């Protein structure tokens, strides 16, 4: 150990313990400052290449009109194609709470409409006056045909 420290000081390097649990412990001569800098650089580069998955929400009501439903489905499709998860929420008010099957049907229609770009991650669950389901994008969605070519 003393020889290694002496060799490190002669070469203006640091003695870094690489594998402390090995018998005998493995050490390395290196410029520790430069090593730390390169590690943080690698971490930053890896972080830059990561895609952060967001949870977005689409809210529906049991008595939603057909055109409004289509608009919400298009929005959900766009969010899923961008790689975000989508939480489909059906909100009930007053007497609507007595008919949760309407909300289940609505969520079923939405997941069916999005089945080519998404899969159901969490089945519909009731929380108070709301019904939630989570859909997540498929790993490799089918490429859209380009128009005008």
Of the candidates 4, 22, 2, the residue with the CA atom closest to the CA atom of residue 13: 4
Q: Can you read off the two tokens belonging to residue 132?
A: 């939630």
Domain ranges of the chain: 2-48, 55-137
- The CATH class given to the 55-137 domain equals alpha beta
* CATH number among 1.10.1040.10, 3.90.1150.10, 3.10.20.80, 3.40.50.2000, domain 2-48: 3.10.20.80
DSSP per residue, 64-117:
--HHHHHHHHHHHHHHHHTT-EEEEEEE--GGGGG-HHHHHHHHHHHHHHTTTT
Q: Can you read off the two tokens belonging to residue 104?
A: 């289940």
Per-residue pLDDT tens for 8-47?
888 888 888 888 888 888 888 888 899 899 999 999 988 8
Which residue is associated with the tokens 């997941």?
A: 111
User: For the chain (length 149 residues), average pLDDT per consecutive 10?
Assistant: 84 86 88 90 86 87 95 94 92 92 94 92 92 90 59
């Amino acid at each position: 150990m003393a020889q290694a420290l002496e060799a490190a000081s002669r070469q203006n390097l640091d003695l870094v313990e690489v594998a402390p649990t090995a018998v005998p412990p493995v050490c390395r001569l290196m410029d520790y400052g430069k090593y730390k800098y390169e590690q943080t650089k690698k971490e930053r580069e890896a972080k830059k290449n990561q895609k952060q998955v967001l949870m977005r929400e689409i809210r529906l009501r049991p008595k939603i009109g057909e055109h409004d439903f289509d608009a919400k489905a298009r929005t959900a499709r766009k969010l899923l194609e961008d790689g975000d998860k989508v939480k489909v929420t059906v909100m009930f008010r007053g007497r609507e709470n007595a008919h949760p099957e309407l909300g289940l049907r609505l969520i079923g229609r939405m997941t069916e409409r999005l089945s080519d770009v998404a899969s159901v991650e969490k089945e519909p669950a009731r929380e108070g006056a709301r019904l939630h389901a989570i859909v997540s994008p498929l790993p490799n969605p089918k490429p859209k045909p380009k128009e005008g070519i």
